[in-house]
Structure 1
């Protein structure tokens, strides 16, 4: 039997790295992007403009980025983790000063031709920085309370900055993503229970500091009928579209609800409502099954890595997909307030797609290089 090049310490060729790429994962994400393109084609009335064509172009570019990132040695990403987090933090801090305002919130930085959300970059940087922190932390110190202070601060600062934009959705995602990575790294569950109790105690203070529109969203979530043509319009129309789809749906481009423009943001945050109306409950179940396959496959990838940074980078990418999907589908069905989280690789949006795909690129690099051994072969995976 020929020894593995990783085990012998021999230089690894590009061909060997390409063979190590988990191609089934890329096939799954291609399937998700295809569903998104078909849905955007339908939403625009049977045209690739203005959304479906751009969606496909962006995805192909992002797919090439994943393959390119997979070839980069893991040590490079480890060295860049802290600088990337610092840069993302600086950009988040600049949003209130130089950000572009839209719908009462400042979330974007850029020009008329190029703009981006620093909060999207922070999602990537947070995963990398936390993975870097736990890589350097000895295993016997992970469970110590003082070792949780720095990662909690790394999570808390971007949460506070995004709440001030205001961007409740990104703040929720930072908290959920960061805490899930801490748990996967081996932080005891008792710490999270204590944090949950503290969070409940702080709810009155959080409520008093929310913006009026954020309070309204929560109140409408609890009672959509209080303002069905105002703040509750999104949820009401989304539920109506899903109800019209029934179990099998109306058929591709056979919607009764959405052509009249009743579903707001139907190409971005509420595209699942369109899929539900056209393909019904069965179609949504099929879509959820594809996401589940992707997430479970990525967690299996993580379990096969010996390097702790690689494991947490892959798990962080998988958890990002899970949180996006969970919040988006819960949002369109009225289970959580509307917070503006897109459906991964299906909704239209260049920044969110790039964030997810670059995260996949980091995960793929971890899978290609993280099985050669290295620090941190312990953990819950």
Structure 2
């Protein structure tokens, strides 16, 4: 069997057992140290969140290529092991290998997630030294890193100097500005993006919704809603619309979006409940809670928290006790995000001793 045939066998492997069998066949065929094959193996193990096995493949190769190192760096970043990704980059450089554009893109994503601006600044210096400061992928990774770290001035400096911008670069900059002290700038950039001929994607709207919510720009929310329907953007945008309408104070439109979703997930329900709670519609929160219990839907922590807050605000102790019991059954009652509204609910309902007892119990468990 030829090498490419073994590589093709890796694609259908959706579980560890089948992947290990193909790996064994690759070793028997004498391809266990082949650069191309090992890179595909690293990617396959990475897709199954098995960075340990991916790393063992890399370590088994006497002289792995830059492509193999890049795959390992990306594997760590995908698994949220960002410090390991940075260590891999340093180790690669220490061995005298020359990073390429993909190396910098992957390692900068690690810096962004780890909020390591110091390492990011050093990598940016290396990027400039190699004449890659205008590379669209590297620039986008730098913009994302600076935005996540709150350094919007540096992010905008890089963005403005880019000779060519793709939709990902626009989306990254809009996302950063949406959470800035001037969300209007996010709206301005969104308009500029459209004037360049770039077509907004679902992620473009998702990145802009926080700015719309903070500005309570209900008219813009409606225009984005219409655009989302026209483009058939799907569930994630619908869930974000529920949240944005509710934060803009239009709970009726939020519920209309909720009602029109054909296949709601737990985020749809929890977002609608949180939206009602945000607008003081506590009875409606508890109605949705009861409906979820009635049809035996999976309930996440946001739904439970919203229900607890609603029970406390309308002083419905019996309903609060039911929700507390449900939280215990779901083994989330000791989670600080849930435990705090449980105590708040009991305190608001006049059960101060119960609230204090729960507080002591949570402190003892720390």
TM-score by length of 1: 0.25
* TM-score normalized by the length of structure 2: 0.26
Q: Which of the two has greater helix per residue? A: 2
Which structure has more relative contact order (CA 8 Å, sep 6+)? It is: 1
